[in-house]
Amino acid sequence: MIQTNQPVSQNDSLLSRGMIAVLAAQFFSALADNALLFAAIAMLKFLQAPDWQTPLLQGFFAIAFIFLAPFVGPFADSWPKGRVMLVANAMKCAGAVAMLFGLHPLLAYNLVGVGAAAYSPAKYGILSELVGADKLVKANSMMEGSTIVAILLGAVLGGMLADWSITAALTGVAACYGIAGLANLFIPKLPPAHPLATFSPIALINDFWIALNTLVRNPDARFSMLGTSVFWGSGSTLRFLLVAWVPVALFIADNGTAANLSGVVAIGIALGAAAAAKFVNLETINRALPAGILIGLLIPVFAHTTNLPTAAMMLILIGACGGFYVVPLNALLQERGHETVGSGHAIAIQNVFENFMMIIMVGLYTLMVKAGMPVVASASLFGLLVFLAIGMLAWLRMRKMKGVAVSIEDVTR
């Protein structure tokens, strides 16, 4: 049965010891995550694996989020979240070390996905325990900023190291996970947000189902989960599109260029996240919608680019739209989840939606690759799908809100 035992924020400051420790841990963990992706891609190339196995990395990573969702949310909410993050980083480190010692990249990346599935509800859920609702968008912006810098450096360093030595890249990844684990130790031991009476699998699945239904019935939570799912699904697919697009459009065959362009997207997301912190709050969340719609329009334009500077500028713009769009939606779900089922539960459920969408979008792209569709055509079609998906979500939300406004007006007459 769902309880709403919510801890009071230990320190409402955005620069508290807890927030700084969370940001540091997230930075090094995300740095390792993104470097590991390009190391895994390089390993597949070294093993001469078929091209369609490269996008499958995302599927093997994401599947853990879906199957473990009923368990990682309660785990994050039933234990101090800093300790949950420590355990999760250790699991991710084990996946990197396993790849270093010869485990197939797809299987090793799946193990990293298990750690990431446990890590995600804790890293985002802890924000609503450290700061109040009035600072939650700004806290999310800081988290995204830390993540984006890590994505930028991780992608660049991962691509460079993988071109030089896959062994060095994987060793560096494991070291970064270790540093993240040390930072986790400095996170204050906050009381559990959502303790459960039992940890039996049946009880946890039932609890997850109740939480899922609670969030799906909440219009704001449902909108947030669907909206962020389309964004992260498109972002994951764009990464693999870049790996195939760079040699075709720019005639560059190394690992570093695609990694650097992924980092360029991260710069844009950081800019968009900073703008969202300034111009959007939970009451003005709809300001983020036009930016999301623009993502789908910009991807086909980017796909037809044929020189590196223009491609970088387009990717910065795509990233900026993404950051402005996704940060407020994340904050909205955290707040609605914190009020109802616990923020850890809410993030775990959001992960199911997001990773299911990742599997669908990356799966569609994998089928395009196996069918021999040109990468520019597949990128253009992909952008159109993103435009239609976010556009439909925006239209439905605005129509619903207009209907609510009319109803309130009728009542007050």
| 14 has a pLDDT exceeding 80 | no
Mean pLDDT (the chain) is: 81
Element (H, E) at 293: helix 289-303
pLDDT of res. 97: 92
In terms of C-beta density within 10 A (0-12 exposed, 13-18 middle, 19 or more buried), how is residue 47 classed? Answer: exposed
| 199 has a pLDDT exceeding 70 | no
Under 8 Å between Cβ of 33 and 154: yes
Residue carrying the six token digits 């699991």: 91
pLDDT of res. 5: 42
Region of residue 342 (phi > 0: left; psi between -120 and 50: alpha; otherwise: beta)? left
CA dihedral over 111, 114, 120, 122, signed as positive or negative: negative
Under 8 Å between Cβ of 52 and 211: no
Residue type, 12: D
Distance (Å, whole) CA 252 – CA 250 = 5
Comparing C-alpha atoms, which of 333, 365, 338, 339 is closest to residue 352?
333
Q: Which of 18-27, 67-76, 135-144, 258-267 has the highest mean pLDDT?
A: 18-27
pLDDT of res. 92: 93
Distance (Å, whole) CA 65 – CA 357 = 12
Residue carrying the six token digits 């923020």: 343
**Lowest mean per-residue pLDDT among 9-13, 107-111, 194-198, 292-296:** 9-13
Distance (Å, whole) CA 114 – CA 407 = 46
pLDDT of res. 191: 64
Distance (Å, whole) CA 312 – CA 149 = 16
Distance (Å, whole) CA 354 – CA 352 = 6
Residue type, 90: A
Q: Higher-confidence residue: 58 or 307?
A: 307
Tokens representing 103? 């485990």
DSSP 76-99: HHHS-HHHHHHHHHHHHHHHHHHH
Q: How confident is the model at residue 194 (pLDDT cuts 50, 70, 90)?
A: low
In terms of C-beta density within 10 A (0-12 exposed, 13-18 middle, 19 or more buried), how is residue 402 classed? Answer: exposed
Helix (H/G/I), strand (E/B), else coil: 31: helix
Q: Higher-confidence residue: 80 or 38?
A: 38
**Which segments within 7-63 are labelled E, that is strand?**
none
Fold exhibited by the domain 17-193+207-412:
Growth Hormone; Chain: A; (1.20.1250)
pLDDT of res. 344: 64
The residue extents of the domains of the chain are: 17-193+207-412
Residue type, 327: V
Distance (Å, whole) CA 375 – CA 244 = 7
Per 3-state DSSP, the chain is made up of helix, strand and coil in percentages (nearest 5) of 85, 0, 15
Distance (Å, whole) CA 280 – CA 178 = 35
Q: How confident is the model at residue 177 (pLDDT cuts 50, 70, 90)?
A: very high
Mean pLDDT computed over 6-11? 45
Q: Higher-confidence residue: 314 or 238?
A: 314
Q: How confident is the model at residue 405 (pLDDT cuts 50, 70, 90)?
A: very low
pTM of the model as a whole: 0.70
pLDDT of res. 179: 92
Comparing C-alpha atoms, which of 183, 143, 171 is closest to residue 36?
171
Burial 326-343 (b: 16+ CB within 10 A, else e): bbbbbbbbbbbbbbbbbb
Under 8 Å between Cβ of 333 and 350: yes
- Alpha-carbon torsion angle 56, 62, 63, 64, nearest 10: 130
Under 8 Å between Cβ of 296 and 389: yes
Comparing C-alpha atoms, which of 353, 346, 339 is closest to residue 122?
346
pLDDT of res. 406: 41
Q: Which of 54-68, 86-100, 372-386 has the highest mean pLDDT?
A: 86-100
Length in residues, the chain: 413
Tell me 199's DSSP state. -
330-357 pLDDT per residue, tens? 878 877 876 777 666 777 788 788 888 8
